[in-house]
Amino acid sequence: MKEKICLNNGMSMPLIGFGLYRIEDQDTMDEAVRCAYDCGYRLFDTAQMYGNEALLGQALKNCGIPREDIFVTTKIDTRNMTPAALRESFQLSLQRLQSDHADLLLIHWPGQSKNRLRDCWKAMSELCAEGKTRAIGLCNAVPHHLQWLEDMDILPAVNQIEINLHNVQENLSRLCAQKTIQVQAWAPLGRGDFSNALVQQLAAKYDCTPAQIILRWHLQRGIAVIPKSSHPERIRANIAIGKFSLSEEEIRQMNAQDAYKDTSHNPYTYDYEKAGD
């Protein structure tokens, strides 16, 4: 299994990253980042909305991790979805991260305004041209969002979407692949419910954890993942997936577990302006 994937702009991105959602204090961030780095994680995923960019920046400094050794993703908050606010807020993100660039900058929620999304995408493209970010992409983008951007000078390199056994996203993943957009799964383990009988059966068969079965399922489908945990044993297990491979039939059976259920906003209809977010 490849450790990195080549994005559509030619840069490489680790297939397995470390999610930082809900890590809210410096000691926990330091411990999690140190453990993750020592285990082999090189992609760290944060966001303006998480409120922990500064914690990550300081943790990298506290742990003595060279910036050139890692891949940092952050995301533009819905409150900053105008070109001017996007640029200003991203500069503040870089200050909090103690870095002169991001490796990947994403729009967290595209919303339902075509003009607003295109205007912000132009601002993101300018930041990319200026070297402030090495790649740009989207979170929670569905077909109409991708269509709105298909004539832009720079296409999304990544679409980070919810994918897990409750929300398999076969059609959207296939569309992204056709457009050479790398899919990256947030909440790849769902909400930590490993009671699924098929997953339990496969974990016993391959002598691994249920989480490792689910992560292997993602990777064999060509989907990058950003599992999150602050527990050292889970951090280690989530990257030490092992060398086993699921059969095509087992992949098909896992795909069939789909409940078509979003655990957050419905990206097809969610408009943060109307929601007041």
Query: Any idea where the domains of the chain sit in the sequence?
Result: 4-263
Average pLDDT for residues 192-212, to the nearest whole number? 95
Average pLDDT for residues 48-66, to the nearest whole number? 98
Average pLDDT for residues 106-115, to the nearest whole number? 97
Q: Is the pLDDT of residue 243 over 90?
A: no
Per DSSP, the three-state class of 255 is: helix
Q: Is the pLDDT of residue 84 over 90?
A: yes
Per DSSP, the three-state class of 221 is: coil
* d(C-alpha 183, C-alpha 94), whole Å: 24
**Where does residue 28 rank: exposed (0-12), middle (13-18), buried (19+ CB within 10 A)?**
middle
* d(C-alpha 256, C-alpha 259), whole Å: 9
Q: Which CATH architecture has domain 4-263?
A: Alpha-Beta Barrel (3.20)
Given a contact cutoff of 8 angstroms between Cβ atoms, the answer to whether 240 and 39 are in contact is yes
* d(C-alpha 200, C-alpha 209), whole Å: 8
Kindly indicate the confidence band of residue 192, based on its pLDDT and cuts at 50, 70 and 90.
confident
pTM above 0.95, yes or no: yes
What is the pLDDT at residue 193? 84
The least confident of 71-85, 143-157, 257-271 is 257-271
| Residue 41 annotated in active site | no
Kindly indicate the confidence band of residue 272, based on its pLDDT and cuts at 50, 70 and 90.
confident
What is the pLDDT at residue 2? 65
Residue 103 CB partners (closer than 8 Å, separation 6+): 11, 13, 71, 72, 73, 133, 134, 135
Q: Is the pLDDT of residue 242 over 90?
A: no
Which helix (H) or strand (E) covers residue 259, if one does? none
Active-site position among 37, 50, 270, 272: 50
Long-range contacts from 27-30, C-beta under 8 angstroms, 24+ separation = 28/230, 29/55, 29/56, 29/58, 29/59, 30/58, 30/59, 30/62, 30/63
At 264, list the tokens.
Answer: 């957050």
* d(C-alpha 125, C-alpha 111), whole Å: 18
Kindly indicate the confidence band of residue 191, based on its pLDDT and cuts at 50, 70 and 90.
confident
Q: Is beta strand 12-14 parallel, antiparallel or unpaired with respect to 4-6? A: antiparallel
Per DSSP, the three-state class of 100 is: coil
Q: Percentage of the chain surpassing pLDDT 90? A: 93
Kindly indicate the confidence band of residue 263, based on its pLDDT and cuts at 50, 70 and 90.
confident
Spatial CA neighbour of 90 closest among 42, 128, 140: 128
